[in-house]
Amino acid sequence: MTVRLSGGKHSGFTIIELLVVILILAILMAIALPLYLGALGQSEVTTCRTNMYSIAQAEAAYRARVPGHVYTTNLSDLKSDLGSNPACPAGGTYSVTISDGSELANNGLPVPAGGIIVKCSIPSHGVFAPGIDKN
């Protein structure tokens, strides 16, 4: 947009000025976008780990509620203790396994035989072993 000033001169942005502004915005986006995507990925992992912790807490409640039963690997058995099945933000699915002593917790420590491990099908989200991993 140009504005005619008195004396016949035009005032406005030149193409060079517009290109400089676009360049500055592109540089700022190049810096901000990787940081945003990293934070988004980290929040997905944190949400998934929180869901695994909730499943482990429901397992403990199930164990206390059902006499003579240790743990269940069927998540539908936990519905009354869990409310609804949590969903992984990245689309993964959760499973519960009972350790045979050879499984490792997320922190690398072994899970004793008979302990539970809550897993997400997305490998980068890790696993959760109550009592071994920190919540």
Dump pLDDT digits (tens) for 40-54: 989 999 999 999 999
Q: Alpha-carbon distance 58 to 78, whole Å?
A: 6
Domains in the chain: boundaries: 12-128
User: How high is the pLDDT of residue 50?
Assistant: 92
Q: Alpha-carbon distance 37 to 129, whole Å?
A: 28
User: How high is the pLDDT of residue 120?
Assistant: 93
User: How high is the pLDDT of residue 134?
Assistant: 78
User: How high is the pLDDT of residue 44?
Assistant: 93
Which stretches of the chain score pLDDT less than 50?
none
Q: Alpha-carbon distance 73 to 97, whole Å?
A: 6
Residue 60 contacts residue 130 (beta carbons within 8 Å): yes
Model pTM? 0.73
User: How high is the pLDDT of residue 64?
Assistant: 85
Indicate the CATH number for domain 12-128. 3.30.1300.80
